[in-house]
């Protein structure tokens, strides 16, 4: 392992040196490529340097007979080793990609659809906190402001690496606005999270597509506009249908619909491969299975419980979560996922 770390450190040093050369610095594309590669290697190079430095501190403290310094340096070195093991875990190839999310109201009728709207608000507020951009591709709104279904794209650095853990069933327990007797109801919504896939990653055969145009409409059937700018694309071999109607431009709607269709077909292909590795998949947090209930939002008890976590660390304040303060919850899921992957290696 440490031979590999030495190679990675040298590679990082060579990249930083190359970035200082005039011919690279003056070439925007070459400089950006070097900077991107160096940014990926920097955490490993710095952790390895810290590990080496802690080893030197241990040797110096041992020569001086300073037990306290020796113990501190040893503890620091062990922390570096733990960090390095995590950094060397196989990277998710989609971590740098944008995200396509789809939320659907589930059981509970109108209340499930209102909860879907609450989830969309939650993710929109989280995206705003992270400096990401949200674009709605398609939505089917109810008279009360809920969503039968809403599809949207989240663009920004780290979007997939954080939001991929949100896929699954989300359950809510609260008194619905439609309930006059004050009784607590249990409703649900489902969330699908897909990486945005480019044409290079997954090519579509135009002969497999049926493309229809129609007029966009809002809640209650009111027309958003009077032109046929909305797009419906059907992938004939699989029967997969994607609609996009939130842009005024037919071209933009078609482009967004193609993005979502590529993502869905890519995910279906990946699912076939994952099913052959079911045991490994069960050991990891981000399975992406929409049928799996991952979280309960309990309003009367003011808590959100993520069922993939254990102990006291599985519950969070509901007001903060619903306002998009998701980092603590997602950090816990990332840590649990890393621990599962490390355990699988042993």
> Do 243 and 271 lie in a common domain?
yes
153-170 per-position pLDDT tens digit? 999 988 999 999 999 999
> Do 233 and 325 lie in a common domain?
yes
Higher pLDDT, residue 287 or 199: 199
In-domain check, residue 345: no
Distance, CA of 315 to CA of 49 (rounded, Å):
37
**Domain residue limits at 58:** 2-87
Domain's final residue, options 66, 87, 108: 87
Range with lowest mean pLDDT among 33-37, 179-183, 291-295: 179-183
> Do 201 and 297 lie in a common domain?
yes
307-328 per-position pLDDT tens digit? 999 887 789 999 999 999 999 9
Which long-range contacts (C-beta less than 8 Å, at least 24 apart) are formed by 36-44? 38/12, 41/8, 41/11, 41/12, 41/15, 42/12, 43/87, 44/5, 44/8, 44/9, 44/12, 44/84, 44/87, 44/88
65-111 per-position pLDDT tens digit? 999 999 999 999 999 998 898 888 888 888 888 999 999 998 888 99
Residue 56 has pLDDT above 50, yes or no: yes
Q: Stretch 3-23: mean pLDDT, rounded? A: 89
Tokens describing residue 306: 């993520």
> Do 157 and 49 lie in a common domain?
no
Residue 251, exposed/middle/buried by CB under 10 A (0-12, 13-18, 19+)? exposed
Residue 238: give its domain's CATH number. Answer: 3.30.70.1660
Please tell me the total count of domains within the chain.
2
> Do 221 and 115 lie in a common domain?
yes
pLDDT for 282: 46
In-domain check, residue 235: yes
Find all residues with CB under 8 Å of 66, minimum gap 6, and list them: none
> Do 29 and 178 lie in a common domain?
no
Domain's final residue, options 31, 57, 87: 87
Domain's final residue, options 54, 87, 120: 87
204-229 per-position pLDDT tens digit? 888 888 988 887 665 444 444 445 67
The verdict on pTM exceeding 0.95 is: no
């Amino acid at each position: 392992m440490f031979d590999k770390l030495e190679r990675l450190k040298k590679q990082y040093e060579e990249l930083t040196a190359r970035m200082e050369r005039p011919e690279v610095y003056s070439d925007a594309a070459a400089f950006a490529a070097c900077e991107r590669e160096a940014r990926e290697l920097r955490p490993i190079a710095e952790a390895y340097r810290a590990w080496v430095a802690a080893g030197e501190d241990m040797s110096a403290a041992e020569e001086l007979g300073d037990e306290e310094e020796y113990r501190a340096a040893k503890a620091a070195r062990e922390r570096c080793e733990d960090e390095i093991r995590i950094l060397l875990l196989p990277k998710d190839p989609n971590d740098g990609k944008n995200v396509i999310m789809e939320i659907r109201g589930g059981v509970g009728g109108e209340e499930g659809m209102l909860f879907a709207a609450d989830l969309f608000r939650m993710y929109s507020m989280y995206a705003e906190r992270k400096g990401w951009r949200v674009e709605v591709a398609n939505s089917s709104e109810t008279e009360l402001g809920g969503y039968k279904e809403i599809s949207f794209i989240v663009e920004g650095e780290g979007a997939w690496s954080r939001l991929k853990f949100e896929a699954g069933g989300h359950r809510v327990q609260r008194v619905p606005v439609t309930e006059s007797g004050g009784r607590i109801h249990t409703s649900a919504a489902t969330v699908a999270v897909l990486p945005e896939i480019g044409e290079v990653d997954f090519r579509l055969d135009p002969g497999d597509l049926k493309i229809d145009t129609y007029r966009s409409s809002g809640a209650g059937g009111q027309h958003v506009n009077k032109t046929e700018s909305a797009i419906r694309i059907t992938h004939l071999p699989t029967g997969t249908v994607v609609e996009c109607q939130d842009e005024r431009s037919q071209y933009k709607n078609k482009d967004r619909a193609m993005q979502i269709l590529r993502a869905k077909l890519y995910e279906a292909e990946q699912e076939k491969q994952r099913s052959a590795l079911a045991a490994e998949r069960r050991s990891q947090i981000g399975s992406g299975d929409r049928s799996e209930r991952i979280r309960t939002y309990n309003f009367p008890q003011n808590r959100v419980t993520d069922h993939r976590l254990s102990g006291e660390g599985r519950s969070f304040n509901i007001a903060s979560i619903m306002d998009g303060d998701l980092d603590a919850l997602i950090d816990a899921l990332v840590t649990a996922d890393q621990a599962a992957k490390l355990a699988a290696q042993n």
